[in-house]
Structure 1
Amino acid sequence: MLALIAGTGALPGEVVANLPAKPLICSMAGNDPASVEVDLNFRLEHLGSFLAELTERGITEICMAGAVGRPKIDPSAIDAATFPLVPVLQGALGAGDDGALRAVIQIFETSGFTVKAAQDVAPGLLMQAGVPTQVQPGELDKADALRGAEVVIAMSNADVGQSCAVRTRQAIAVENAFGTDWMLKALQNRPDGQGGLLFKAPKPAQDRRVDLPTIGPATVEMAADAGLSGIVLEAGGVIVLAQEEVIATADRLGLFLWFREA
C-alpha cells in the first residue's frame, strides 16, 4: 500500500489523478497541499511516531511529491519515537537539497519502506524525446541547448538548481534557491534583447526518486514573457503537468518545446 507525502504545487494532484487507486495522502505541517485532500498530517518533531503509524496502517511504499520547505525543529516538541532520528534530521537540515533528500530517503528505507518516484507510480507524467510543438528548434537553439546542459552540470557541483536560460551560448540566468519561476520573472526586466531558451534537467548525480524538475503551463507563459524562444527539457527527466495545455500554450505563444535526449 502506498502513502503519498504531498507538498505544495500541482504535482500531488497530478500523481493522484494518474494512480489506479487512491493512496494514503499525508502532509508535513507547514506544507499544506492545495491540490489534494490530506488524510494524515504530521510534524517533523513526531516523524518517528508518524512512520510507526504508517506501518500500523499497512503502508509499504512512500512517494514524495510537491514542494516542501525546510522546517525549524522545536527541540521541546520532539517525541520519544523521533529522538533516535535527530542526528540524521539535523544533518539533513544543514545539507544542500540533494543531501537533505538523501537523508530523508535513508530514514524511510531504514524504517522498512520502499521509496518510489512520482514518475514510477504515475509514468504518464514524463514525455518522450521529440518536439511536439509547431515551432521547431534551429541550429542556434541546438548550440544553446548543449551549453545549457553544460551549465546545469556545473551547477550540480554546487547543488544549486536544475535550470538556466541561455542565449547565443551565454548563460543569461541560472536557477537558485528561489526556483525557476523567480529566475524567469527576473529575466523580464533585462534590457539585453530577445531570444534564447530555458534549459531544465535533473542534476546528474541526484536521486531521481525525489525533486525531479517539473514544468506546467505557467512555466511556458513566463518563458514567453521573459522573451525566450523555447524550452528544452531532458527527455524522461522532467515532469510535465497538464501536458496538452503545455503544448497548446507553447503553440499559442510561438515557442518550441524540445524534449532532448541527455
Structure 2
Amino acid sequence: MLALIAGGGGLPQRVAAAQSKPPVICGYEGVAVEGLDVDQSFRLETLGSLIKSLQDLGVTQLCLCGAVPRPAFDPSKLDALTMPLVPTFQKALGAGDDGALRVLIDIFETAGFTVLAAHDLAPDLLAVPGILSGKAPDAQMAQDAARAADVVATLAPMDIGQCCIVGGGQVYGIETIGGTDHLLATLPQRVKTAAAILFKGPKTNQSRLVDMPTIGPATLEAAHKAGLAGVVIAAGNVIILEPERCKTLADDLGLVLWSRATP
C-alpha cells in the first residue's frame, strides 16, 4: 500500500491520479493539499504517531511530494511516539534543505518504508528535451542558460537553491530560502530590459527521491510578471506540471519555454 506525504501545489494530485489504487493521503497541518481529501493529518511533533498509524494500515511505500515550508519545532506539542526522534529532528533542522530531507528519508526507511520518488510513480512528470514553446531561444539566451546552469552547479555544495536568473550574461538573482516565488518577486527592475531567463535544475548530487525541481503554469505567470523572456529547465531532471497548459501559456505570454538537455 502507498501513502503520499502531500504538500501544496499540483504535484500530489498528479501522482495520486497516476495510481491504480488510491493512496493514503497524509497532509501536514496548516498546508492545503489541492484536489485531494486528507486521510491523515500530522505535524513534525507527531511524526512518530503518523509512522505507527501507517504501519498499522499496512502501508509499505511512501512518496514525499508537494511543497511544505520548513516547520518550526514546538516541544509542547510533542507526543510520546515522536520523543525518540527529537535528536534526529535537531540534526535535520540544522541542515540545509537537501540535508533535512535526507534525514527525513532516513527516518521513514528506518521505520521499514520504501521511499519512492514522484516521477517513479508518474514517469510522465519529467520534462523531455526540446523547445516546448513556439518561440525559440536565441544565441544569447542559450549562453545565459549555460551560465545559469553553471551557477546552480557551483552553488550546489552550499545547498542554497535550484534556480537562477541570468540575462545578457549578468546574474540577477539566485534562489535562497524564500524559494522561486520570492526570487521572482524581488528582482531588480533592470531585469525587464535584459531578456533574462529563469533557469531551474537540480543541485549536484541532490537526492532524486524528494524536492525535485518543479515548474507549472504559476511559474510561467510569475516569470512573465517579473519581465523575463523565458523559462529554461534541465531536461529529464525537472517535473513539469500541466505540460500542455504550460506550452499554451508560454505562447500566450510570449515566453520561451525550453527543456534544455545537458550538452
TM-score, normalised via structure 1 length: 0.95
The residue number in structure 1 matching 2:254 is 254
2:172, 2:191 within 8 Å by CA — same for their partners in 1?
A: no
Deviation at 1:12, TM superposition (A): 1.3
Distance 2:146 2:136 in 1: 16
The residue number in structure 1 matching 2:117 is 117
Distance 1:34 1:218 in 2: 14
Change in 2 beyond 3 A, CA 1:16/1:150: same
Letter in 1 for 2:56: E
- Whether 2:221 is the aligned partner of 1:218: answer no
Q: Deviations over 1:82-120 (max 9, x none)?
A: 222111111111211011000000000001001111111
- Whether 2:195 is the aligned partner of 1:195: answer yes
Deviation at 1:74, TM superposition (A): 2.7
Extract structure 1 runs of 4+ deviating beyond 4 A.
none
The residue number in structure 1 matching 2:86 is 86
Deviation at 1:131, TM superposition (A): 0.8
The residue number in structure 2 matching 1:95 is 95
Identity %: 50
The residue number in structure 1 matching 2:182 is 182
The residue number in structure 2 matching 1:135 is 135
The residue number in structure 1 matching 2:105 is 105
Q: Deviations over 1:46-105 (max 9, x none)?
A: 212211111111101000111112222232432232222111111111211011000000
Distance 2:102 2:158 in 1: 16
Distance 1:224 1:83 in 2: 46
1:18, 1:124 within 8 Å by CA — same for their partners in 2?
A: no
- Whether 2:149 is the aligned partner of 1:149: answer yes
Q: Deviations over 1:172-226 (max 9, x none)?
A: 1111111112211223734662302110001011101101111111211222222
Distance 1:10 1:108 in 2: 23
1:9, 1:35 within 8 Å by CA — same for their partners in 2?
A: no
Distance 2:227 2:28 in 1: 37
Which segments of 5 or more consecutive residues in structure 2 lack a partner in the other structure? none
Distance 2:191 2:216 in 1: 26
Distance 2:253 2:32 in 1: 33
**Could you say what the CA RMSD is over the residues aligned between the two structures, in angstroms?**
1.6
Letter in 2 for 1:250: A
Distance 1:69 1:256 in 2: 29
The residue number in structure 2 matching 1:230 is 230
Distance 1:226 1:122 in 2: 31
The residue number in structure 2 matching 1:51 is 51
The residue number in structure 1 matching 2:160 is 160
Distance 2:46 2:185 in 1: 38
Which segments of 5 or more consecutive residues in structure 1 lack a partner in the other structure? none
Letter in 1 for 2:239: I
Deviation at 1:21, TM superposition (A): 2.0
Letter in 1 for 2:127: M
Alignment of 1:18-37 (within 5 A): 18-37=18-37
Give the total of aligned pairs: 262
Instruction: Classify the secondary structure of the residue corresponding to 2:4.
Output: strand
TM-score, normalised via structure 2 length: 0.94
